[in-house]
Structure 1
Amino acid sequence: MSKSTRNIRNEAHSPCMCASRSALPALQGRQADIALIDNLFDRIDQGGTALVISGETGIGKSALLETAKHRAVERDFIVLNMTGVLAEVHLPYAALEQALRPLSKQMASLVPRQRSALLSAFGMQDDGGAPDLFLVALATLFVLSESATCAPILFVADDVQWLDKATYDVLSFISRRLGSDPIVLLVAMLEGFEQPFGDSDTLRLKLSALSDADAEHLLDAHAPGLSPDLRSRFLMEAAGNPLGLLELPQADRTSDAGDTAWLPLTERLERTFSSRLRDLPDAARTLLFVAAENDEPSIEEVLRAGEMVLGERVCVDDLAPAIAAKLIEVDRTEVCFRHPLVRSALHQVADLATRQRIHGALAATIRGQLDRQLWHRAAAIIGPDDELADEYDRMAKRAVRRGAAAMAIEVFENAARLSTTAKARNHRFLRAAELAADLDQPEVLERLLRQVDVDESDKLAAVRIDWCREISKPPAVHDPAKVAALVGFAAHAEAAGAKDLAINLLWRAGQRCWWSSANEKLRASVLVAANRLGLPDSDPRMIAISAYVEPLRCGRSVLNALQQLSPIDHSDPSIARILATTANIIGAFDFNVGLLAEFGAALRAQGRLGELARVLFTRGWAEMEIGNWAGAMREAEESARLAEETGETLWVAAATILKAMLVGIQGNLDESEAFAAQAERLLLPMGAGFLRAMLQIARGASAIGAGQHWLAYEQLQRVFAPADPAFNSGLESFALAYFVEAAVFSGSPESGRRVFDQIERAAAPTPMPWVQTMLYYGKALLAEPEDAEHWYLQGLGPAAKHWPFLRGRLLLAYGGWLRRQRRSANARRPLREAREIFDALGASPWSHRAREELRASGECSRQRSERIWETLTPQELHIAQLAAEGLSNKEIGTRLYLSHRTVGYHLHRIFSKAGITSRSMLGSMLVGVENPAG
């Protein structure tokens, strides 16, 4: 064993959670639960696992974790510990820093951005940037994975319901990525805690009450000589709860079974613990109260604060009576409660005045931790304090810089309560509300807004309230009437001099025009209001408003403006988002792929995974349109995975629709419909009209591929029917070519013509090249025989090369038309080109149709052969591409938010599937992936 490994183990094995090093007694009735954990240890060489252990208070979760830690030490595991403490829940990343302390030397091996994020999260560095939670989580995963090369790791997290939110989310992130690392994560939480952890594949163990026989054995072993009445009473009250069986007999045993009214076990245990205070000396009792209110287990802090409260000298020996009463345990520099209920009981027993004196003493005692001092200062006073409120403002800003926006909400809320004026109070509640809206916490948002006391003269506060409520809504709300309200709010903001807020409100109004298929009058009102602000035409929000309000008519001018603004300025994430997503609205997919790749790379580096999921979906749709179908599926798969991880159900549905579209046009109709049905289930409670329209486009395109034009017509006409939930005027152009094709070949050309004429008028006078190519295709399909060739040739002009699938369909239709005009020799060339495009794309139904047409024209075709890279999953393909670019496993892991061991596992599978033995062979295998039809 190396010296560094020994040091890690020694530090990690230190009983920082006050676990006894002595051999633990066997747990009564938990043999099966211990066997489950042993099995996780036994198969550690096959990869790691997370196990969530739940149960009621006192059921034995902590005891089971202690047993697991001892068994892991016996197997030479590195053991890491963290325990949630209610008093620390306001300190972001406090528990995570505690757990990773033994591995601090491993942080030096992190890439600079990850190291900076972790140090900022732990308050060890303040570079002005906000470390995204997922970047901190990735850094944590890499520290664990790197340390696991020395020895397997057992990571134990107890009472996670009292962890700070940031640490909890990091743990949940890690739990989903242990498959290839020798790490076992054991997480214990109270039964009924509703915060989700892990995913559907995470192992879960619910601890049940002990059987009657086990309960009797445990009670008799720890409390022999009880009278029959007391024994029966304790067995009944404990109801198989191990803590109850151990602690209830420690109380006064002289009372009869019927002397005490029934109380819930938790309350009875709290009374049992608090009853032990009666016989303690004043110094011991006061020190216990101090320890209960402190948010760190430091003995030094407890003793110093205790001296201030008592007005006399104290030492560690003064804690001895509390240790003897089995209320606390002391190990070197830390004092730990034997059970969280002890802390809870002490907090309830101490009167308010005592708690305030203790918090004041702690505030004066704590050194070098300003935020902790401020929490205790606030707890030590009653009533407002403007100076302290200002300090809290600064604390909230520090929290935001550390990426702990959830903590900043609580801090701003406390600052509001400390404010002496209504104006200051309202401002702080609104700052907290804006953060809650950004974090998608609607219940917290409404609670905060209800506390804002808006004066009728304060128009800006009222507008800020409406802005908070607006940005908290997902991009799925079908409410055209809200557009007019947003225009009105913008006018109020403009009148109050808040021009930036006004343009943000109008940008949101423009988005709602697109989501809600707003009428022409509403759309015009948004443009008029935006122009009235006098902002430069180059303002990205002005450009975006034009795109969302009039995507067809303003497409060309929007594209020109976007081209003038690129590359993206990443200093303002909201502006970058506008620029990177607007181009898809107007159909500038070829231009937008580069922007989206650039913005996605920035989001990936910053760890903003929720936003990355949206951008990946948008990029995937653009790549599909320009013919990079492998890339599109890669983006769709990752988008769905990240959206599910970050709770963005809307974007899970969006990515699933993209997958349905891709597999459908490749000929996998059953798989396509399975994806479509999954997306539809996700969309049911949302009413997301624009995604319903995309879903119908996916189903329609798949049906055309299967030759079911009548079904495609039924699916696609819903996109153009204003009364249908799937109607979306902003997406009609996306469905145009498919709908006209379905209408013509299903015997409903007049319906196709009506839609065609409507879009042609809206796109005049200069349609976007993508739209213009579809218009030529539609004209050719709808034209009289003598006019069709002209429109086919127009459609096959230079612009069509940017849209391979659309060009292939034009070629196929043109070749078929030529053959039906008895010009078979002329038909073969476009049909051959169509076949080559479809083969390159993997569009099997259309490839088959092109071969049939060629056969009818007198020419045979060889069958398409599958390429090696097509056997890889989207994630394997992504890893193979990054490895072919020369990235190491660690660099690939950083890019994809995976551990380097997971990357190595996937590369092993890739080599096996492809029949290759080295990275140098990946390049030749991947030829043609990105631009197969180019």
Structure 2
Amino acid sequence: AAAALERAARLTPGLADRARRLALAAEAAADAGDLEHAQVLAEQARRIGGDPLTVARLAGLRGRIAFDRGAVHDAHRILLDSAASIAEPDRRGAALLLLDAVRNAWYVSDPAAVAESAARLAALPLTPQDGLDGFVRAARAMADFLAGDLERALPPFRELIAVAAAIPSGLAALRISICSLAGISGDFDNGLAIAHSVIEECRAHGLIGLLPLGQAVLAIHQLYLGRFRDAVTTAAEGRRLAGDIGQTHRIAHFESVMAMVAAVEGREQDCRELAERTIAHVGTHPVATIVGWAEWALGLLDLGQGRFEVALERFEAAARGPLRHQIMPYYFAPDQIEAAVRLGLPARAEQPLARFESWATAAGHPWAQAVLHRCRALLAHDDEAAELHWERAARAHAEANRPFERARTDLLHGEWLRRARRKSESRTRLRAALETFERAGAAPWAERARAELRAAGETVTRSAPDLASSLSPQELQVVRLAATGVTNREIAAQLFLSPKTVSHHLYRAFPKLGVTTRTELARLDLG
């Protein structure tokens, strides 16, 4: 499409029409992931000039390119200025630019900039026919969230998530924004479904420029839901693609997700390298949400390895810093509480408990209530109160879809039962926890569950290794697709690889899995 529009522009005699077609060609090139060519075309159109809408369209594209290259502050200012210039002739176009500005300000964790962008958006004379009322309310709610008013912030998020499926094709960027709101509001199942639909649209229409953003939100939701192998597979593909098309700050996003999984799995060197590289990148491209994952990963690594004091200090420092406005301090609060309790310092758990309770109450999800009861059980002053919270946590987990969090609750509950000399009951909880940890590849947590089971009088053996764990993320992705019966050429087209590369991955994967034909793949559990 970009090439056809560029050719049409060259053949157009009128300067205004030529500029308009060059602008369209630049947008198509950006959608296809060719940022360098998009910038060249946009600059050619800018030099020609044109009507105000074309000029503003070009400025919006410049903002998008700046953001995709990590220059988030420049992008934000470009978007605000562009929206102001077209507000009168194209209020809906101005609104879309301001929605991007809200998102950018959120990423850098700038409450004032989010509030300013949301206020400008609310001031536009939009009508119901523009179809953006829910997004306007959500933008205001994002400002409320950063200001700490969770009761006002989360309901507009939920309203928008509920109608995401009705948003028509062609508005993938808006659906990605809704997916991000699902992550903030704790609605991970719906967020996962939205992310999958966006990625399908991006692949079907060749929107390579948007695909890494869709993969980033998908990886986050897979991580939240405890699908760690899927999260790494998505992040590995996203990192490769982002590097190919020049979206440098997305690389850090994917590596922060990979650092979180490395922390869960106890791969200390990998976790530290990925997290420290992410933090160093944010020094030049200040996207606060990304450094939040890296800090959380390092804290979770220390917690899993039993370095409770180091973990607690890291979580406390992160909650006081620029991240204090973001969702991460709410989500890592239970880890912070566990570290404090294991150190015998319950007073240092009071603030994170209040923080998490405020979010969990506003969100209302069963998994959040389960984790809240777990935290209250750890801090209970007597056995009767603790027992009540453990029971409520178990009931709430049964209604939720976060197996890793349920296993962590089972582990802590099992430890509590063993200390209360209720060894038979403790073994039931600890076996369930161990099974989940082993399936997830969460080695430190699994080892702790084994130690507790041995202390409870049970002989424990290690389970057989998972075949799929021997594959690289890209090998796993290729093998999963091959197992569905699609050809190498079709796999290559879907993953933006060459058929030769697909063949190479299958050649390496088959011996690891102990198979010799594609038919055998369909019978394997590939996680």
Shorter-normalised TM-score: what interval? 0.7 to 0.9
Residue 768 of structure 1 deviates from its aligned partner by 3.5
Check the 8 A contact 2:410/2:433 in 1, yes or no.
yes
Larger radius of gyration: 1
In structure 2, the partner of 1:797 is: 395
TM-score in terms of structure 1 length? 0.50
Q: 1:548 aligns with which of 142, 147, 171?
A: 142
Matched residue type, 1:755: P
CA 1:560–1:702 in structure 2 vs 1: closer, same or farther (change >3 Å)?
Answer: same
Could you tell me the TM-score, scaled by structure 2's length?
0.86
Q: 1:122 and 1:565, CA in 2 relative to 1: closer, same or farther beyond 3 A? A: closer
1:413: which partner in 2? 46
* Superposition map of 1:614-625 within 5 A: 614-625=213-224
Deviation at 1:716, TM superposition (A): 1.3
Instruction: After superposing the two structures, state which structure 1 stretch, 710-719 or 807-816, moved more.
Output: 710-719
The reply to whether residue 642 of structure 1 matches residue 275 of structure 2 is no
Aligned counterpart, 1:512: 105
- Corresponding residue of 2:171: 572
Over 3 Å counting, the alpha-carbon distance change for 1:761 and 1:630 in structure 2 is closer
Q: Which runs of 5+ in 2 are unaligned?
A: 30-36
SS at match of 1:866: coil
CA distance in 1, matches of 2:23, 2:85: 28
Counterparts of 1:475-624 in structure 2 under 5 Å? 477=73, 498=91, 500-502=93-95, 504-505=97-98, 508-509=101-102, 512-513=105-106, 515-516=108-109, 518=111, 523=115, 526=118, 530=122, 539-542=133-136, 544-545=138-139, 548-551=142-145, 552-553=150-151, 554-624=153-223
Per the alignment, do residues 496 and 913 of structure 1 end up closer, same or farther by CA in structure 2, a change over 3 Å counting?
A: closer
In the TM superposition, what whole-angstrom CA distance separates every residue of 1:147-201 from its partner, at most 9, and x where no partner exists? xxxxxxxxxxxxxxxxxxx9xxxxxxxxxxxxxxxxxxxxxxxxxxxxxxxxxxx
Distance 1:655 1:749, change over 3 A: same
The 1:754–1:432 alpha-carbon spacing in structure 2 relative to 1, beyond 3 Å, is closer
Please say if residues 514 and 730 of structure 1, whose CA atoms lie closer than 8 Å, have aligned partners that are also in contact: no
Tell me, in whole angstroms, the C-alpha distance in 1 between the residues paired with 2:499 and 2:141. Answer: 42
Are the counterparts in 2 of residues 654 and 679 from structure 1 also a CA contact under 8 Å? yes
Pick from 418, 433, 445 the counterpart of residue 59 of structure 2. Answer: 433
Give the alignment's Cα RMSD to 1 decimal: 3.4
* One-letter amino acid of the structure 2 residue matched with residue 853 of structure 1: E
| Correspondent of 2:370 among 773, 791, 797 | 773
**Structure 2 CA distance for aligned equivalents of residues 742 and 905 of structure 1:** 45
Q: Which residue of 2 aligns with 1:733?
A: 330
Task: Map residues 215-294 of structure 1 onto 2, 5 A cutoff.
Answer: none
| The one of 323, 329, 350 aligned to 1:753 | 350
User: Which residue pairs with 1:788 in the alignment?
Assistant: 386
Q: CA deviation at 1:853?
A: 1.1
| Pairs within 5 Å for 1:190-209 | none
Alignment partners' CA distance in 1, 2:60 and 2:132: 27
Asked if 1:392 corresponds to 2:25, the answer is no
Distance 1:525 1:634 in 2: 35
The structure with the largest helix share of the pair is: 2
2:416 maps to which of 817, 823, 836:
817
> How many angstroms apart in 1 are the aligned matches of 2:370 and 2:127?
34
- Judge conservation of contact 1:581–1:596 (CA < 8 Å) in 2: no
For 1:655, the aligned partner's letter is F
Aligned residue identity for 1:530: A
How many angstroms apart in 1 are the aligned matches of 2:193 and 2:363?
Answer: 24
2:174 is paired with a residue whose SS is helix
User: 1 CA distance for matches of 2:352 and 2:127?
Assistant: 36
Counting matched residue pairs gives 511
| Greater RCO structure (CA 8 Å; 6+ sep) | 2
Q: Is the 8 A contact 1:567 1:595 kept in 2?
A: no
- Report the secondary structure of 1:610's partner residue: coil
CA distance, structure 2, for counterparts of residue 477 and residue 431 of structure 1 = 19
Corresponding residue to 2:316 among 698, 703, 717: 717
Contact in 2 for aligned 1:889/1:904 (Cα 8 Å): yes
Partner of 2:289: 690
Instruction: Report if aligned partners of 2:256, 2:291 keep a CA contact under 8 Å in 1.
Output: no
The answer as to whether partners of 2:403 and 2:436 remain within 8 angstroms in 1 is yes
User: Which residues of structure 1 form unaligned runs of 5+?
Assistant: 1-119, 124-129, 131-165, 167-368, 375-386, 441-470, 930-934
1:741 is paired with a residue whose SS is: helix
More displaced 10-residue stretch of structure 1: 404-413 or 652-661 = 404-413
| Distance in 2 (alpha carbons) for counterparts of 1:497 and 1:427 | 7
Give 1:692 deviation, angstroms: 1.6
For residues 870 and 726 of structure 1, what CA distance do their matches in structure 2 show? 33
1:500 to 1:122, Cα distance in 2 relative to 1, 3 A = closer
Partner of 2:34: none
Work out the CA distance in 1 between the residues paired with 2:215 and 2:230.
10
Per-residue CA distance 1:735-782 (angstroms, 9 max, x = gap):
121111112213332222112213423554553444333322221222
Tell me the SS of whatever aligns to 1:797: helix
What is the one-letter code of the residue matched to 2:425? N
Shift of 1:507: 6.0
Instruction: Spell out, residue by residue over 1:686-725, the C-alpha distance to the aligned partner (whole angstroms, 9 max, x if none).
Output: 232222221111111111111111111122112210xx34
> 926, 929, 932: which one pairs with 2:525?
926
Q: 1:495 to 1:772 in 2, by over 3 A?
A: farther
Question: Is the 2:259–2:274 contact (alpha carbons within 8 Å) kept by the matching residues of 1?
Answer: yes
- Displacement of 1:810: 0.5
Output the CA distance in 1 between the equivalents of 2:126 and 2:8: 45
Q: How does 1:803-842 map to 2 (within 5 A)?
A: 803-842=402-441
Compare 548-557 and 857-866 and name the one that shifted more: 548-557
Query: Partner amino acid for 1:676?
Result: A
Letter in 1 for 2:439: A
- Paired-residue identity, %: 26
SS at structure 1 position matched to 2:463 = coil
**What is the distance in 1 between the residues matched to 2:123 and 2:424?**
57
How far, CA to CA, are the matches of 1:563 and 1:397 in structure 2? 34
Report the secondary structure of 2:389's partner residue.
Answer: helix
> Does structure 1 retain, via aligned residues, the 8 Å contact 2:278–2:290?
no
Q: Does 1:670 pair with 2:292? A: no
